[in-house]
Structure 1
Amino acid sequence: METEKKQEEVDGIHRWIAISVPVFLFSFVLIVMGLIFPFRFVFLLCVGWASYLVRTLSRLTISPSLTLMFLSTLLLFAVGFHLYCRRIKRRVSADPVEVIPWQRRWSLSLVSMFLLLAVSGICVISVTHQFFWMATTQDKIFEKLYMGSAGEAARRSTSKNNLKQIGLAMHNYHESARRFPMGGTFDKAGQPQHSWVTQLLPYLDHKTLYEQINFDQPWTADDNRETFEINFILLQSPGMPYDFTEAEGEAAGYKPAHYAANSRVLSANSGMDLCSIKDGTSYTILAGEVRSGIKAWGDPTNFRDPTEGINRNPRGLGSMFKGGAHVLLGDGAVRFVSEDIDPGVLKALSTPNGGEPVGEF
């Protein structure tokens, strides 16, 4: 008997070694490869709740009156539930003489189970609400967490399509006005009035919004404030913040534009026509992505000089995408221009009639 028991212990040790050694070797290989995520996940799953309690318990405030009310209500419910169950058991028993009284521990177990189910239900509802908020919030949390190549490609495609829609609107505007929209309109005193985006609204399927604007007043006037607080998704690049928090937005509530016009083509009270772009529309930038110094879409000063560089200067073009930024060319095409582009080539693309050779870019 003792021999069999010892043999079982030896077999158990062998099984433990047979399982633990491969797991240890596999874990070692993952650590050497730098794959720490599985171990962090398991660790946080096991003890993450403890650190959460340490952080939150010190901030919790307990109301004595509410606590006493809850405990009193729970006690009354437990007593009433016990008396009710004891009465029911007597009624349904076939032989009342031999009936076993309903035990307090049975009532306590059932009340504890009900309480646990109620708390679990609240937790499930809270977790579901949290996931729904994460999926629908404008912060796009899932989009930020997912930084794979597929997500990057989708964001680039969306931003590229936004610029194409802007380019189409610019050309439709040109057909009507015989020129591109002004980069920004300013009155005789030099006060800013309205932006190039505002002029494009009828050609961006927002004619009703355009008709609501009082053009006798600047874009920051009280009569126009509600209009320019509208979120314009077409002018927002995926991955960029949706709330306008830059220093230029002195009036909170205005929504941002993640695209700016080329100041050498669309500037203050000036919008060129196609015939004036001597270097060719295929080699002249009309607008591009920006990642810093962001202005509201109604701001008449939302234009900048692309020769300042791409991802190199707050006053130049840029994007959240790796390696460069999208630009809209005069022929309506959208190209992704590298941040390492030759400054001379970038200047040639920025000037409409400089006569510089462009070549490949």
Structure 2
Amino acid sequence: MKSYPGVDPATVEPLPCPPVPEKPERKELSWLLRLGLSFLALFLCCGLLTPWLLGVLELPGRLLFGWIPFLARTLPQVSVDPVGVATFAALLAGLAAAVHVLGRWGLPGDNGAGAGRGWGWRSTAASCGLVVSLFAAGVAATGAGHQIGWLVNSPVPLFSREGPGRRSQAQNNLKQIGLALHNYHAQHGRFPAGGTFGPTGRGEHGWATRLLPHLDEAALAERVRWDEPWDAPANREPFAKPLPPFASPYPGLPTEDADGYALAHYAGNARVLTDKVGLSFLDVRDGMTQTLLAGEVADGFLPWAHPANARDPAVGLNIRGGFGSTRDSGVILVLMANGSVTTMSETIDPAVLKALATPAGGETVPEY
């Protein structure tokens, strides 16, 4: 303690500290917060806010974790191309050699005398990793920009009363069908026939049945009696099983016919998936991005195994016998021959629709 002349520290009394004012309890705010949380819990329990909440959480959830089910779904169907792997390895080795030589030639040593003494294989590996990472980031950014542009220009609302995730699931169904068709083409050199028929005209098997091994349904394909027609008693059991990519996520649609066969809510383009034998990529002379491959249907549902589950899109959209949607938005999801999924309005120009339906009509397809 600091001392002062003529002052006895023992007689000095400390000054009383002023009382610290207590913070007033915000009872009103606490009461309002509890009341709000109570109403929120009540609405959630009644299901009044569940669709809205799921819709808000859907986009960030898919951005963060959507790649996990995508990898689980597509990796088993990916085939490794040895030539492509060897080419990539050779190019990567050439890049590493060039970076290493340039690094040792252009970087001065630690003591300033002699070139390349400060550059080693670790620096080469880091540089190559950076180049590959930048390339992958560029590809990812391009894909993300493409998808964002598609979402912005799509006539389908991002969140709608149709139900969170249903539109995305419907798009995913068509993407799975497109991937299976392309894998079939890679194995057989052409798309499957829309349907095969016997000498008497009786239907044998449809195009979806031949995709089973490419839809993670190899076990189901083994139970199919290929020597019997699709509707023979021996084939009733496998064809009564629903095929997930062909089942629409929207409620209210029939799931089986009167005989118990599982129905398809998507159909192929009869001009590409033709009878007896399907077309190849070379036959689609109008361009893969300008030719329809499959789409949603709104009526006349057939079993997914039916050999006649292919339609002529040129009939019109939301018209019996053509592609269509059971939703009120007037927008139909379709699969293009290149495997992409897009939307079409039911008011599309019939001439444009016919041009998209033909694989080799030679028409000029304007914007639609």
**Deviation, structure 1 residue 314:** 1.1
The share of aligned pairs that are identical, in percent, is 47
**Any idea what SS the aligned residue of 1:239 has?**
coil
**Any idea what SS the aligned residue of 1:166 has?**
helix
Report the Cα distance in structure 2 between the residues aligned to 1:204 and 1:241, rounded to whole angstroms. 25
Which residue is equivalent to 1:198?
Answer: 209
**Deviation, structure 1 residue 242:** 5.2
Report the Cα distance in structure 2 between the residues aligned to 1:241 and 1:152, rounded to whole angstroms. 13
Seen in structure 2, the aligned counterparts of structure 1 residues 285 and 239 have a Cα distance that, compared at 3 Å, is: same
**Residue identity in the other structure for 2:344:** V
Report the Cα distance in structure 2 between the residues aligned to 1:266 and 1:240, rounded to whole angstroms. 28
Which residue is equivalent to 1:336?
Answer: 343
**Residue identity in the other structure for 1:271:** G
**Gap runs ≥5 in structure 2:** 1-158
**Any idea what SS the aligned residue of 1:287 has?**
strand
**Residue identity in the other structure for 1:300:** P
**Deviation, structure 1 residue 241:** 3.9
**Structure 1 position 154 matched with structure 2 position 165:** yes
**Any idea what SS the aligned residue of 2:268 has?**
strand
**Deviation, structure 1 residue 238:** 1.8
**Residue identity in the other structure for 1:232:** L
Q: Which piece of structure 1 moves more, 150-159 or 334-343? A: 150-159
**Structure 1 position 227 matched with structure 2 position 243:** no
Which residue is equivalent to 2:179?
Answer: 168
Report the Cα distance in structure 2 between the residues aligned to 1:269 and 1:240, rounded to whole angstroms. 34
TM-score by length of 2: 0.55
Seen in structure 2, the aligned counterparts of structure 1 residues 305 and 153 have a Cα distance that, compared at 3 Å, is: farther
| Aligned partner of 1:277 among 271, 281, 284 | 284
What does residue range 292-307 of structure 1 map to in structure 2 within 5 Å? 292-307=299-314
Q: Deviation string for 1:293-338 (max 9, x for gaps)? A: 1101111110110011111x11011012312211100100001111
**Structure 1 position 289 matched with structure 2 position 312:** no
What does residue range 71-86 of structure 1 map to in structure 2 within 5 Å? none
Report the Cα distance in structure 1 between the residues aligned to 2:262 and 2:169, rounded to whole angstroms. 19
Q: Deviation string for 1:222-276 (max 9, x for gaps)? A: 111000111222211122545446xxx4x52111100000011112213100000
Which residue is equivalent to 2:24?
Answer: none
Report the Cα distance in structure 2 between the residues aligned to 1:153 and 1:166, rounded to whole angstroms. 22
**Any idea what SS the aligned residue of 2:183 has?**
helix
**Any idea what SS the aligned residue of 1:197 has?**
helix
**Deviation, structure 1 residue 359:** 1.9
**Gap runs ≥5 in structure 1:** 1-147
| Aligned partner of 1:318 among 321, 324, 348 | 324
**Residue identity in the other structure for 2:321:** R
Seen in structure 2, the aligned counterparts of structure 1 residues 240 and 182 have a Cα distance that, compared at 3 Å, is: farther
Larger % of helix: which? Answer: 1
Seen in structure 2, the aligned counterparts of structure 1 residues 240 and 262 have a Cα distance that, compared at 3 Å, is: farther
Report the Cα distance in structure 2 between the residues aligned to 1:159 and 1:355, rounded to whole angstroms. 31
What does residue range 1-361 of structure 1 map to in structure 2 within 5 Å? 149=160, 151-152=162-163, 154-241=165-252, 243-244=254-255, 249=257, 251-311=258-318, 313-321=319-327, 322-361=329-368
Moved over 3 A (4+): 150-153, 240-245
TM-score by length of 1: 0.56
**Deviation, structure 1 residue 150:** 5.8
Partners of 1:287 and 1:328 within 8 A in 2:
yes
**Any idea what SS the aligned residue of 1:344 has?**
helix
Partners of 1:286 and 1:328 within 8 A in 2:
yes
Report the Cα distance in structure 1 between the residues aligned to 2:340 and 2:315, rounded to whole angstroms. 22
Partners of 1:243 and 1:255 within 8 A in 2:
no
